[in-house]
């Protein structure tokens, strides 16, 4: 599908129309178009405004707890007997995942724009919690749309959002998962255009969201680069991250895209296997299409109807993917691979016992790929994996799968 | 290129009334019933038919049209079959303009060139594709215009004076003014506000302006029709279909006659519009 010649830099996208090659763009209803243009104009101003940058850095340091550590996983490295394994520990952030990086950036933008109401969609609830958190911090009312199925399987996060003062609206349309929540959030936005800011949680949606979310998350990769140079005096040989919508992955990858020596791997939810319908591997098993404001790889049938994905992890349960990942796949810069539910579950348990870290099920997918790759690499090679979320929210799901009642 | 539109609007203007644009979801609840409904519309008073192309993720639609799309998809409706509805309809009606309305992805997957060719053969006059704003005109709008199929744009209350020329630039057939910010099936806006918005659009174009979103009764149709060239009715027709179905979503003997009676009433409303306005 790649129709674009290889660029001089992999870091220059998107173009002024919000495209990464054929991907991205602005496929939205006319009602939203003026809002998206207004958002883009404000974002263009903010990203070069020293005051905006300073405020965000202050919050990152004192509210989120950045920089997050780059941790050498000594026992896991020993166990696997190959490459040295480092974790970028974004699970130690306030609210327990990388999602806060983006939420702080966007709420500062919402404030600049004079918006007085925040809406968001959430799957696993991590983005919902992070949004509810920043809304509380800045004193703005917040409505979070969440698929009814997810409300049920992620009840601890639902309670957290409510404690933080957000209103959680369960969405019963479709199958009641992340894509349906996003549809409903878009419907809300179309209806409340004057006062409402839509705080999208991943590097997808219409331009400028994919670029904006990436830039807020790129703090992960920038820190990793500095920390790695300080600790090892060189760049890593490989980066591995989980991709659902793809925000934690693009955040880690982006600052390294032009370093040819760094191999980059994105890990999709292979669910119960790519042969059937129960997976969420949009890049490895999907095809390009248009949904939620952008052209990207999607899980869809031959009539262009969007399929429901499946993953053990509600955070990877989305039938699309950020458009920049689609472009990086077609350009061949990043390799995307699927990991099955059971592999992620095994990785989850291994890390818990070997390193005393309970990872979320999303990065457990990345970890399962680390477990496959590290033993095939030399001992002087280095892998950095984004440990983008902690697993407290998943203990009920895991308990059920392991046959332990909680 | 939009001969059927021109004839339809000219005829209504000669009768001193706005046109009635009726929306139905293609394949709701099944192909045959949907075809019968479509065929019944013109004699009940519909001047233009909007034929919905069902999509799994209709982001700009309210619950009624979402459910109609799901019923159609469950009934096996595809884009190919929606084109077939138009082909069948054209066998007995060569006058009523047909506008296919929906979202871009099914067309993109079908293939834009192939879609336009088959749409032309099926007798389609225009397209409304909700998620293709003017910024994306290269995708479908310009290829459609080249083939002689109109691309009907939605203008909304957020479309300000600065943006309006861009929205109208490649629009043909008519302009669809969405009377409020929101999804289909919301509440009716103030008719006076709508009148002002229509006048504002008419400063920028000679095309007819039809108004939709929120028109539910003959009285609404009359009030909106006083200032617009056409009135679009969708959700209330979809609701009429839905209310006639069995519990498991099958058509009944009341499905087609129910829509006919409803459209006849709405048609009486638009026919009274200018008479009332003139009083």
Indicate the pairing of strand B230-233 with strand B19-25.
Answer: parallel
- Most A CBs within 10 Å: which of B27, B53, B59, B178, as the mutation test of the A interface? B59
Q: How far apart are CA A15 and CA A19, in angstroms?
A: 5
CA dist A388 to A71, A150, A213, Å?
A: 13, 20, 15
Q: How far apart are CA B121 and CA B102, in angstroms?
A: 19
Domain that holds residue B155: 3-278
**ipTM of predicted assembly, 2 dp:** 0.94
Per-residue pLDDT 10s for chain B (279 aa) are 579 999 999 999 999 999 999 999 999 999 999 999 999 999 999 999 999 999 999 999 988 999 999 999 999 999 999 999 999 999 999 999 999 999 999 999 999 999 999 999 999 999 999 999 999 999 999 999 999 999 999 999 888 889 999 999 999 999 999 988 888 777 777 778 888 999 999 999 999 999 988 888 888 888 888 889 999 999 999 999 999 999 999 999 999 999 999 999 999 999 887 765 554
Chain A contact set for B62 (CB, 8 A): 187
Domain harbouring B28, CATH code:
3.20.20.70
Indicate the pairing of strand A70-72 with strand A84-88.
Answer: antiparallel
The answer to whether the Cβ–Cβ distance between B154 and A304 falls below 8 Å is no
- Most A CBs within 10 Å: which of B105, B164, B167, B189, as the mutation test of the A interface? B105
Q: How far apart are CA A294 and CA A304, in angstroms?
A: 14
Model confidence pLDDT, tens digit, residues A221-233:
999 999 999 999 9
Q: Which residue of A has its CA nearest to B56?
A: A305
The answer to whether the Cβ–Cβ distance between A183 and B155 falls below 8 Å is no
What residues of B act catalytically?
Answer: 50, 61
> Domain A67-97+220-401 is in which class?
alpha beta
Which pLDDT does position B277 carry in this prediction?
53
Of A397 and B84, more confident = B84
User: Is residue A295 within 8 Å of residue A26, measured between CB atoms?
Assistant: no
Average pLDDT, chain A: 95
Q: Which residue has the tokens 């280095």?
A: A382
A269's enclosing H/E stretch is strand A263-271
Q: How far apart are CA B226 and CA B274, in angstroms?
A: 5
Which pLDDT does position A175 carry in this prediction?
80
Q: Per CB distance under 8 Å, which residues of B are interface residues toward A?
A: 55-60, 62-63, 66, 73, 78-80, 103-110, 130-136, 153-160, 163, 167, 178, 181-183, 186
- Most A CBs within 10 Å: which of B60, B128, B166, B197, as the mutation test of the A interface? B60
Taking the model in full, what pTM does it have? 0.95
End-to-end CA distance of chain B, in Å? 37
Per-residue pLDDT band for A257 (boundaries 50, 70, 90) equals very high
Q: Which residue of A has its CA nearest to B166?
A: A30
User: Dihedral through CA A316, CA A320, CA A324, CA A326, nearest 10?
Assistant: 110
Q: Which residue of B has its CA nearest to A298?
A: B105
Per-residue pLDDT band for A124 (boundaries 50, 70, 90) equals confident
The radius of gyration of chain A from alpha carbons, rounded to an integer in Å, stands at: 19
What b/e readout covers A213-247, taking b as 16+ CB neighbours within 10 angstroms? bbbbbbbbbebbbebbeeeeeebbbbbbbbbbbbb
Name the segment(s) of chain A with CATH classification 3.40.50.1100: 19-58+98-213, 67-97+220-401
Q: Dump the DSSP string for A328-351.
A: HHHHTSSEEEEEEHHHHHHHHHHH
Which pLDDT does position A310 carry in this prediction?
86
Chain B contact set for A27 (CB, 8 A): 104, 131-133, 136
User: Is residue B5 within 8 Å of residue B125, measured between CB atoms?
Assistant: yes
How distant is the Cα of A287 from the closest Cα of chain B, in angstroms?
A: 9
Chain B contact set for A290 (CB, 8 A): 103-105, 108, 131
Chain B contact set for A282 (CB, 8 A): none
Which pLDDT does position A117 carry in this prediction?
98
Model confidence pLDDT, tens digit, residues A263-314:
999 999 999 999 888 999 999 999 999 999 999 999 999 999 999 888 888 8
Which pLDDT does position A3 carry in this prediction?
53
How distant is the Cα of B251 from the closest Cα of chain A, in angstroms?
A: 22
Q: Where are the beta strands (DSSP E) in chain B?
A: 19-25, 48-52, 98-102, 126-129, 150-151, 154-155, 175-178, 209-212, 230-233
For A19-58+98-213, CATH gives 3.40.50.1100
The answer to whether the Cβ–Cβ distance between A26 and B136 falls below 8 Å is yes
The number of folded domains in chain B is: 1
Contacts A–B by Cβ distance under 8 A: 116
């Amino acid at each position: 599908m790649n129709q674009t010649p290889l660029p001089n830099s992999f870091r220059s996208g998107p173009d002024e129309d919000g495209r990464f090659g054929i991907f991205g763009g602005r496929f939205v209803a006319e009602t939203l178009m003026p809002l998206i243009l207004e958002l883009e104009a404000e974002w263009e101003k903010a990203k070069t405004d020293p005051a905006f940058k300073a405020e965000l850095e202050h919050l990152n340091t004192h509210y989120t707890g950045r920089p997050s550590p780059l941790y050498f996983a000594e026992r896991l490295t020993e166990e696997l007997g190959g490459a040295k394994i480092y974790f970028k520990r974004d699970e130690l952030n306030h609210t327990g995942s990388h999602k806060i990086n983006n939420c702080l950036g966007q709420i500062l933008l919402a404030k600049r724009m004079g918006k007085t109401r925040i809406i968001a969609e959430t799957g696993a609830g991590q983005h919902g919690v992070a949004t509810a958190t920043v809304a509380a911090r800045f004193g703005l009312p917040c409505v979070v749309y969440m698929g009814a199925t997810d409300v049920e399987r992620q009840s601890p996060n639902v309670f957290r959002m409510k404690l933080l003062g957000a209103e959680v609206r369960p969405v019963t349309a479709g199958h009641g998962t992340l894509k349906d929540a996003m549809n409903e959030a878009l419907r809300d936005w179309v209806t409340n255009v004057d006062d409402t800011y839509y705080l999208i949680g991943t590097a997808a949606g219409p331009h400028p969201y994919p670029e904006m979310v990436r830039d807020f998350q790129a703090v992960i990769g920038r820190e990793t680069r500095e920390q790695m140079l300080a600790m090892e005096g060189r760049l890593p040989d490989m980066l591995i991250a989980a991709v659902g919508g793809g925000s934690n992955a693009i955040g880690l990858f982006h600052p390294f895209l032009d370093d040819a020596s760094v191999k980059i791997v994105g890990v999709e939810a292979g669910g119960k296997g790519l042969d059937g319908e129960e997976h969420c591997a949009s890049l490895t098993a999907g095809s390009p299409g248009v949904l939620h404001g952008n052209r990207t790889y999607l899980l869809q049938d031959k009539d262009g109807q969007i399929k429901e994905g499946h993953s053990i992890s509600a955070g990877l349960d989305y039938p699309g993917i950020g458009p920049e990942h689609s472009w990086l796949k077609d350009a061949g810069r990043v390799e995307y691979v699927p990991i099955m539910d059971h592999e992620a579950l095994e990785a989850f348990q291994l890390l818990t016992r070997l390193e005393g870290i309970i990872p979320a099920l999303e990065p457990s997918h990345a970890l399962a790929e680390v477990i496959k790759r590290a033993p095939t690499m030399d001992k002087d090679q280095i892998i950095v994996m984004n440990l983008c979320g902690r697993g407290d929210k998943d203990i009920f799901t895991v308990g059920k799968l392991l046959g332990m009642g909680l | 290129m939009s001969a059927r539109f021109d004839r339809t609007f000219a005829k209504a203007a000669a009768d001193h009334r706005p046109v009635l644009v009726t929306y139905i979801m293609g394949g709701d609840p099944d192909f045959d019933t949907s075809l019968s409904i479509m065929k019944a519309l013109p004699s009940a008073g519909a001047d233009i038919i909007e034929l919905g192309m069902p999509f799994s993720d209709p982001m700009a639609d309210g619950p009624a049209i979402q459910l109609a799309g799901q019923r159609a998809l469950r009934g096996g409706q595809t884009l190919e079959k929606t084109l077939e509805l138009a082909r069948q309809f054209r066998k007995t009606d060569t006058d009523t303009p047909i506008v296919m309305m929906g979202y871009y992805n099914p067309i993109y997957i079908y293939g834009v060139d192939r879609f336009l060719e088959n749409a032309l053969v099926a007798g389609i006059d225009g397209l409304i594709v909700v998620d293709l704003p003017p910024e994306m005109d290269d995708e479908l709008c310009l290829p459609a215009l080249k083939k002689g199929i109109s691309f009907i744009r939605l203008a909304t209350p957020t479309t300000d004076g600065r943006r309006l020329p861009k929205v109208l630039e490649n629009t043909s057939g008519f302009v669809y003014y969405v009377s409020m910010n929101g999804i289909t099936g919301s509440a009716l806006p103030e008719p006076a506000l709508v009148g002002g918005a229509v006048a504002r659009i008419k400063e920028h174009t000679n095309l007819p302006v039809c108004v939709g979103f929120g028109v539910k009764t003959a009285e609404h149709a009359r009030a909106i029709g006083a200032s617009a060239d056409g009135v679009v009715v969708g959700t209330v027709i979809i609701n009429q279909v839905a209310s006639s179905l069995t519990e498991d979503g099958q058509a009944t003997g009341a499905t087609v006659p129910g829509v006919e009676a409803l459209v006849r009433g709405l048609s009486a409303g638009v026919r009274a519009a200018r008479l009332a306005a003139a009083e």
